[in-house]
Amino acid sequence: MIQTAIKNFIKKFLEKTKNQKIHVISHYDTDGITSAAIFSQTLKRLSKNFSIRILKQLTEEDIDSFPKDKIILLLDLGSGSLKKLSKIKNQIFIIDHHEISDEIPKNVEILNPHTLKPEDYENLCGAELTYLVSEGISHENKDLSYLSIIGMVGDTMEKEITKTRDKIIKQANVKIKKGLLLYPSTRPLDKSLEYSSRPFIPGVTGNQEGTYELLKEAEIEKTGKFYKALIDLNTEEMKRIVTAVLLRLSAEEKASEYIGNLYLIKFFNKIEDARELSAMINACSRMGHPEISLMLCLGNSDARKKAKRIYVKYRQHIISGLKYIDQNNKIEGREYVIINAKDQIKDTLIGTMASILSFSSVYKQGTIIITMAYNEDKIKVSTRMAGRKSYSGRNLKKLLDSIIQVVGGISGGHPNAAGCTIDKEYEEKFIELIKKKLDIELIKV
């Protein structure tokens, strides 16, 4: 059971970190940032000597640069790097939920649901696991539970309410309202619609005129100078806006996919939408400011002001990126599409583009979406499966792993969402290999 695994992990962690310096390394997405925030507060309350580093990905160079005199704690990272981690002398602790690549080395203690028996497995994100460890160390840390909710929403796990997740939600004391899964639900509705990326609404996302047309159709009018926020709509208004949005989505997409729980959290003494907070944290990191993301989660008011400004720029980048993808050539196969943005979209945003397209009605369910962008002499590749279903026989992580064995690089992720980094010189070779593999795989399926 997960509770037993957590207790064992805590016992070993507290034993081996006694009077030791700790170096925390976490991933730069929302899940990783909230994990880092939770554990930094936990270590601070334990009066531990620690440092923190936020990474886009865990490379061999990063592992080689680990401080030799510290215990290493990896959050939302590490499960795909066990072979390399086995070659260093540090004692390593990992809290992660990604698939495990190799045998667990002797110098590694890992808390990962994938190590449990199938009947005990729970699909928990890194922030939830980190919070469970934190709360297991001291009940005083229950006040950090809201951060794990932001991480959970950031990893789009809010629809699957497991037993453990339900417990965390109750501890976090969040307010839940059922409605259209559109964020930010606490801001004027016209802006939420215009900048909506999940769902991506054809003719509305990135289109101010299309936004006003939809609101007119739904008979939603301004209250004074502004439109109401989504959470302020009455039952009839909510029904009308849901209908207007669904009419613009494809017939394949079910209404239930876009109606669900809105998680409202008290943040800086104000009720905020967990989705918007997640997006803001993610935006800061992907725009090159993970330190602001972390300080925001730790309650720094100056970081909040900076994060808001970065978030505006980020959304503008997203909209222009989507327009670029829509207007430029793509390599399209029978059930896959390859979007090579080269240097036209930031490499830190290309995964976000893939996710937005996977949740949109642009491609039918089951389509494999591969996005690529330059990062100096490297190429960042992100893959997603369109729709919310799993498709047997198609494992994107294994697909990328098999290509990395030929062209080199590093890869990681999940069956339905994976990524890798390769050298730019292998750009054409990578495209050739992935096309060949997907064409063969589709024939088999």
pLDDT for the residue numbered 324: 92
Q: Which fold has domain 328-444?
A: Diaminopimelate Epimerase; Chain A, domain 1 (3.10.310)
> What span, in angstroms and rounded, lies between the C-alpha atoms of 98 and 414?
7
HEC assignment per residue over the chain = CHHHHHHHHHHHHHHHCCCCCEEEEEECCHHHHHHHHHHHHHHHHCCCCEEEEEECCCCHHHHHCCCCCCEEEEECCCCCCHHHHCCCCCCEEEECCCCCCCCCCCCEEEECHHHCCHHHCCCCCHHHHHHHHHHHHCHHHHHHHHHHHHHHHHCCCCCCCCHHHHHHHHHHCCEEEEEECCCCCCCEHHHHHHCCCCCCCCCCCCCHHHHHHHHHHCCCCCECCECCEHHHCCHHHHHHHHHHHHCCCCCCCCHHHHEEEEEEEEECCEEEEHHHHHHHHHHHHHCCCHHHHHHHHCCCHHHHHHHHHHHHHHHHHHHHHHHHHHHCCCEECCCEEEEECCCCCCCCCHHHHHHHHHCCCCCCCCCEEEEEEEECCEEEEEEEECCCCCCCCCCHHHHHHHHHHHHCCEEEEECCEEEEEEEHHHHHHHHHHHHHHHHHHHHHC
Q: From the CB of residue 47, how many other CB atoms can be counted at a distance below 10 Å? A: 6
Nearest to 86 by CA among 69, 65, 63, 59: 63
Domain ranges of the chain: 2-173, 176-323, 328-444
Tens place of pLDDT for every residue, the chain, 445 residues? 788 999 999 999 999 999 999 999 999 999 999 999 999 999 999 999 999 999 988 988 999 999 999 999 999 999 989 999 999 999 999 999 998 878 999 999 999 999 988 888 888 999 999 999 999 999 999 999 999 999 999 888 887 888 999 999 999 988 888 888 887 788 899 988 988 877 778 889 888 999 999 999 999 999 889 999 998 898 899 889 988 988 887 655 556 677 888 899 999 988 899 988 999 999 999 999 999 999 999 999 999 999 999 999 998 898 899 889 989 999 998 889 999 999 999 998 999 899 888 877 788 888 999 999 999 999 999 999 887 554 555 789 889 999 999 999 988 887 888 999 999 999 999 999 999 998 876 555 4
Cβ atoms of 28 and 139 within 8 Å: the answer is no
Query: Cβ distance 415 to 383 under 8 Å?
Result: no
pLDDT of residue 134: 98
Please tell me the predicted confidence (pLDDT) of residue 389: 53
Q: How far apart are CA 231 and CA 254, in angstroms?
A: 22
What is the phi-psi region of residue 111: left when phi exceeds 0, alpha when psi lies from -120 to 50, beta otherwise?
A: beta
pLDDT tens, position by position, 288-305: 999 999 999 999 999 999
Q: Which residue has the tokens 């270590």?
A: 43
CATH code 3.90.1640.30 for 2-173: yes
User: Where do we find the tokens 């307010």?
Assistant: 175
Residue 253: predicted pLDDT: 56
pLDDT, tens digit, 9 for 90 and up, residues 159-169 = 788 899 999 99
State residue 24's pLDDT score: 98
Residues 23, 75 contacting (CB under 8 angstroms): no
What confidence score (pLDDT) does residue 445 get? Answer: 44
Is 77:25 a contact under the CB 8 Å cutoff?
yes
